[in-house]
Structure 1
């Protein structure tokens, strides 16, 4: 079933129900929301974009985001949401790889200036082109879509640093949404989904279930995460639910504690996307109360591997409470979870191995990447690349990432893409990037740099080399100059030795900004 049918049904059944908000200001009701999506669908069809074609969205959070996203679905096309924080060159690579027929972009000139998207048209919301696109008579009902049709092409990075396009079907999105109701939280029309995290990722994926239930959708005026603004919106709008990375939770709790707020008006905070320290969630519960649910998922199994329930998080008296807080909960209703040995055989409870998941939420595969598919998908199981164990009660505990990905502030950062950017610097001979724990960000990026010809690179120029190639949030927070990188007999850099060098902490070269 086409996900846009949930929007069409909500508009049919409760047309006057409030739908889209910019801050506390209502922008439109469900009838208006559906009318915008239907008009965008008609405009896409008028441009020759047919069912199954791909349409990219490269925009920050804004009130136009959901009408555009569901307009793409309404047309029967595949949406390709791109993280609005990415560098234009990174976004252009995704647009080209996905073979998008059109791009909705806040700044089309920045995207087209790369030259990497060829003649792919770009349209900015609010522009004359956008007005022309939406002038066509709206389609009455969404185009038909089978459960196996790709609805969302979710770009996630791999160990090479190049993004991979996880093909999420209409059935995957339906399974994710219904599992939310079964395992995460109930949703009513009185609720409001607040989009403080990027709508191109987890926050946007939770729009589906809130549309299904005819709830409100709120984009903060800041367009992002501002703790004081969120607390104010919650007091005004009531029944706010949101997805947040652990670092966002920590900042929100710090702000609430400073202003003696208990988060009045916040219904649910779903956290995930990185490690949450036990002390931090205990503090969050003490300050804001039982408002939290933890989820564990990947782009390949969107938001839907395991969940640590509100009841588990709030059950202070349970003898295993602290241990459960350190887990990522139990398998969600649609998920089967196994722990696998290196030979892919199942391991018994308590033993550490690779986490694998199977269910109707698991992607169809990666676009045009048979090698990655062969590594990640085996006999219907998704191999996550994460290491963990299941305890006797079925709680899943993460131990480490089998890959070298750094999760900073809830965003995935892959070392190779940072290394490649730094290696464009004329004074850098070699570089190796790792993550190290940080109380505020979860992890920060640290770069070990070997100067070329003994000339120490200036930190600001190293920052400039990064920001010319990758998004600003990916650049290292620290640079450490070393005469050489530790390597094994095969010439592979020993990142375990680099991590060991951070304890005790060597004298770093701080980043310029």
Structure 2
């Protein structure tokens, strides 16, 4: 069952939920076959691209490995109440909502995200699971820290995020995910690959199952775990040295006065590319020159000289897709 919330209706809907669920009658699909969703890439490195999958060719309700994994890994079941706060064209929102229903759980859909509404939904609907983007997670933490509002979140068992790195100000730690996995807050997660998987020049990763990369870079450790580093399209070559923007972004976001950051390479006649950082300060900056110099001093304590930005630009807000990913091509 899906319950959609309009603005201002959360309290009334929460009170009516038990009665609504009691009157729901199951719908039998008969001889219809299951279909499959066609998803589009997020468009962070170019135009969104539609991906046409094979049809499963199985009847409704047939055993599903994906559903079994959701039950085993995330504890999804009939008692699950999953809160969707992002658009359904985001793969995680669509997949988790559909799998929650397949496993007999309830899905609550917000009309649009706002921190107070999200936390109110968790409290009023006894939400157990939700998947968000890093921007939402950061705004939830900022809302709590800035307002001091108190909510009963004891029902929440899983809060995942993916799509980009996230800054957790209360712990000064970061977790990252990808389009194909989400991360339990408080438990960093890696992607396990076959021992015969290969990462070849950062462009093609294949296993016996036929998986392939779309330009992600990473390292396989001796136990077969794949740790994602960055995307090949984002690598900056400065003065003949390759560097990964995410390393500089991590260092910037660890700064207590920086909410978020994006690092790109701009053309330079001497270096080929120079490292340029765009940062969102947490609070207004009165003396920009002094503030930037203090950030640079801190970076030089943690990064090699060629990795430190040649230029730091302050912005009110980084350009993002509707799902919260930074659109680096708009910063070039």
The two structures have a TM-score, normalised by structure 2, of 0.59
Look up the match of 2:231.
401
Look up the match of 2:291.
none
Which whole-Å CA distance do the structure 2 matches of 1:392 and 1:233 have between them? 43
Shift of 1:152: 1.4
In the superposition, relative to structure 1, how do residues 268 and 157 fare at CA in structure 2: closer, same or farther (>3 Å)?
closer
Aligned pairs (5 A) from 1:45-444: 141=30, 143-145=32-34, 151-157=36-42, 161-171=46-56, 174-183=64-73, 185-201=74-90, 202-220=92-110, 223-257=111-145, 258-261=148-151, 263-277=153-167, 280=169, 282=171, 296-298=177-179, 303-304=180-181, 313=186, 325=188, 328-331=189-192, 338-342=197-201, 356=205, 358=207, 380-404=210-234, 437=249, 439=253, 442-444=260-262
Report the more deviating stretch, 234-243 or 394-403: 394-403
- After superposition, the C-alpha distances for 1:385-416 in whole angstroms (9 at most, x for unaligned) are 111113344443222211239xxxxxxxxxxx
Which whole-Å CA distance do the structure 1 matches of 2:196 and 2:86 have between them? 27
Shift of 1:195: 0.9
Structure 1: tracts of 5 or more residues without a match: 1-17, 36-138, 286-293, 315-324, 343-352, 361-379, 406-433, 449-484
In the superposition, relative to structure 1, how do residues 227 and 385 fare at CA in structure 2: closer, same or farther (>3 Å)?
same
- Bigger fraction of residues in helix: 1
In the superposition, relative to structure 1, how do residues 246 and 281 fare at CA in structure 2: closer, same or farther (>3 Å)?
farther
Shift of 1:247: 2.6
Structure 2: tracts of 5 or more residues without a match: 58-62, 236-244, 278-305, 320-332
Which whole-Å CA distance do the structure 1 matches of 2:141 and 2:78 have between them? 27
Look up the match of 1:503.
309
SS in 2 for 1:249: helix
Alpha-carbon RMSD: 4.5
The two structures have a TM-score, normalised by structure 1, of 0.41
In the superposition, relative to structure 1, how do residues 144 and 188 fare at CA in structure 2: closer, same or farther (>3 Å)?
closer
Look up the match of 1:322.
none
Tell me, yes or no, if the aligned pair for 1:178 and 1:209 is still in contact at 8 Å.
no
Query: How many residues are treated as equivalent by the alignment?
Result: 258
Shift of 1:358: 4.8
SS in 1 for 2:82: strand
Shift of 1:295: 7.7
